[in-house]
Amino acid sequence: MKQDARVGREVGGKVTLYRTYYSHPRYTNYTWSRGGQTLATTRVSDTTIQLNIYGVVVEDRGYNFTLDIGQFDRDRDTGRYSLRVCNPVGCDISTVELSVARPPDEPTQFKVIDNETTSSVWLTWTPAFDGGYPQEFVLEYRKFGSTTWNVFSTYRDTGKVFVVEVNSLAPGETYVFRLHARNAKYDPSRTAFVFLEAKTIGGSASGER
């Protein structure tokens, strides 16, 4: 569970939320809550964590703070959960939003990076909520005026911003690009695309507008 995470799960499946903390000095108390109500099905276990200290990776003792949801019910369990962990120095609060598994959200910040060449353009985008399953992105393109889409590549979501060079293009041409995300809940008949245009450097464009 990441800081301020979103999680999608299947209705009826068993759900357990947890977050790992390193605390020095040792934690003094913690509370899981939802909608201001303290939750009781919690536990803490010791775990080994890795810390990067000035470029040196060392192991130390951490703690898993766990909340057992049990069988996931759409009406009863959907919502935002908070974990508050304190030690003698202070407290930290993290949250997770639990929702029903579904197709992924559209990627955001789909745009052109300003370093086109005669045969390529650079594109970038940011992954959005994966819907509860691992997602991948399909990038397609076509010449402006054409109706034929070509799949350039498919990319697995790593949780990081993507920067991609689309190459083997013609000089001086305008291209239309479209991008969509898919996961195990993906429905091709309801695909949501994001679009943009970009032009390579070079001779005059031959595509009909």
Q: Name residue 35's amino acid.
A: G
Rounded average pLDDT over 75-98: 96
pLDDT of the residue at 123: 98
String of DSSP letters for 166-205: E-SPPTT-EEEEEEEEE-TT--GGG---EEEEEE-SSS--
pLDDT digits (tens, 9 = 90+) for 103-141: 999 999 999 998 899 999 999 999 999 999 999 999 999
Confidence of residue 1 (pLDDT cuts 50, 70, 90): low
pLDDT of the residue at 202: 87
pLDDT of the residue at 209: 32
Average per-residue pLDDT for the chain: 93
pLDDT of the residue at 204: 53
pLDDT of the residue at 4: 76
Rounded average pLDDT over 164-192: 95
Rounded average pLDDT over 154-180: 96
pLDDT of the residue at 3: 65
Q: Give kind and range of the element (H or E) at residue 58.
A: strand 56-71
Q: Give SS3 for 77.
A: helix
Instruction: Quote the pTM value.
Output: 0.82
Confidence of residue 203 (pLDDT cuts 50, 70, 90): low
CB 120, CB 163: distance < 8 Å: no
Confidence check: pLDDT of 207 > 70: no
pLDDT of the residue at 185: 95
Place of tokens 């959005």: 128
More confident residue, 119 or 204: 119
